[in-house]
Structure 1
Amino acid sequence: MYLLEMAPKFLVALIILLIYVKLSGKSQIAPMSQLDQVGSMVIGALVGGTLLNANVSAWESAGAVAIWAGLLILVRFIKSKNSKLRDAIDGEPIQLVKNGNLLSENFIKANLPVRDFETLINIQGICAFNELKQVWYELNGSLTIIKKGDKDIAVLVIENGAISQDNLEQLHKSETWLKHEIKKQGYKDIKEIFCAEWFDDKLLVYPYDDVRKSKSESKK
């Protein structure tokens, strides 16, 4: 009898979770930030708590999960449209090694003991700090590592039609320079570009689908 009473709650909660996973994307399976991780944990706690509480109806259970899931999706949407707000919410990757030098202050900022850092790089087959050229501590706790002798990683300078000012400053480039480079490649406006990255002393541009299709048709 108890299982029959719980069945509607399980069904409604499952439907809400399926919708949430569909709308929020695969990053909820492999969280990209602390907010993603905590948000998913709260979703699990809400589902478990309301399902096991006999005083909470199926619709009340679904409502609690739907409100929280909706808030997370809204924050994710806002972050995708505003890089500065995204950085304010999620924070930014912290550089731990620069040009072979360990940045001790950034280890403190990241709250990462050097012994734990050593373990993380050993797991990736790196035997000594001397092998490292650049290392960033990412938002999800993973490390991005460039060893001595490797090429530097690409730097994103345009994201979702907007300029990444912090990355431009990192490259010692100006907004005027970027707009000039975009026009040299046949684009009129930054808003036509889905994303662009600086790699190996080249600007690699990836326009939105409709812009790319329009350019392809005009060449025929």
Structure 2
Amino acid sequence: MVVSYINITIKLALGLLSIVMVINFTGKGNLAPSSASDQVQNYVLGGIIGGVIYNENIGLLQYFIILLIWVCLVLSLRWLKTNSAFFKKAIDGEPSLLISRGKLDTEACRKAGLTAHEIMFKLRSNNIYSIRNVKQAVLEQNGQLIIVMSGEENPRYPLITDGTIQAQALDSIDKTEEWLLERLKEQGVESVSDVFLAEYENGNLNIVLY
């Protein structure tokens, strides 16, 4: 039995080290998952450790190789999401616009798997009792509903993230892409792809370049 406990301890240590390594390489996203892929990779790791740790038929070398494969897959997935907007959208999806200018998009709600009762519950949780008072309500990938009320001047989302224009954020402040491109040129920015982050606050466009 002593040998079994030693194997279990080593397997636990390897699992812990793999978690620490992934967090250090990918940031703190695994600690507070913001997308489905972040949550799934945590579940997979839990399944690997839980399924292997007490299985005497799987040796330390096999277990190490399995963890190494998992780490490589997670790092590769993170790299693709960071460097390709197409892969990020394909892997994590994108926010869903449920309410626009007081009108509820029933088709978007159906695709998101939300009933009318669930939507109203989310609104009531934010002290909102009528969709007519909502200028924009967006369902994030993690299930959180972000609400912009009628009359709000500042968007809840940045206008540009990772070199990509966020059309929904522009719509929430009644601006167009042409307006945004013109504002970028005024600040000496020729291409949207050069912008890491652009926020709009109180009439000012704050830009962070790569």
Q: What TM-score do you get using the length of structure 1 for normalisation?
A: 0.80
Q: Kindly provide the CA deviation profile for residues 43-95 of structure 1, in whole angstroms up to 9, marking residues without a partner as x.
A: 11111111121111223222212212321221121111121321122211111
**Residue 153 of structure 1 pairs with residue 155 of structure 2:** yes
RMSD: 2.6
Equivalent in the alignment of 1:204: 206
Equivalent in the alignment of 1:107: 109
The answer to whether the Cα contact below 8 Å between 1:12 and 1:62 also exists between their aligned partners in 2 is yes
Equivalent in the alignment of 1:64: 66
SS in 1 for 2:29: helix
Per-residue deviation, 1:98? 0.5
Per-residue deviation, 1:19? 0.7
Distance in 1, matches of 2:65 and 2:86, equals 31
- The 1:201–1:120 alpha-carbon spacing in structure 2 relative to 1, beyond 3 Å, is same
Distance in 1, matches of 2:153 and 2:169, equals 19
The answer to whether the Cα contact below 8 Å between 1:132 and 1:145 also exists between their aligned partners in 2 is yes
Q: What TM-score do you get using the length of structure 2 for normalisation?
A: 0.83
Equivalent in the alignment of 1:211: none
Equivalence map 1:64-213=2 (5 Å)? 64-160=66-162, 162-164=163-165, 166=167, 171-174=175-178, 178=181, 180-187=182-189, 190=192, 192-208=194-210
Distance in 2, matches of 1:144 and 1:166, equals 15
Unaligned runs of 5+ in 2: none
Q: How many pairs are equivalent?
A: 205
Unaligned runs of 5+ in 1: 209-220
Equivalent in the alignment of 2:23: 21
SS in 2 for 1:141: coil
Distance in 2, matches of 1:96 and 1:5, equals 51
**Residue 34 of structure 1 pairs with residue 19 of structure 2:** no
- The 1:196–1:114 alpha-carbon spacing in structure 2 relative to 1, beyond 3 Å, is same
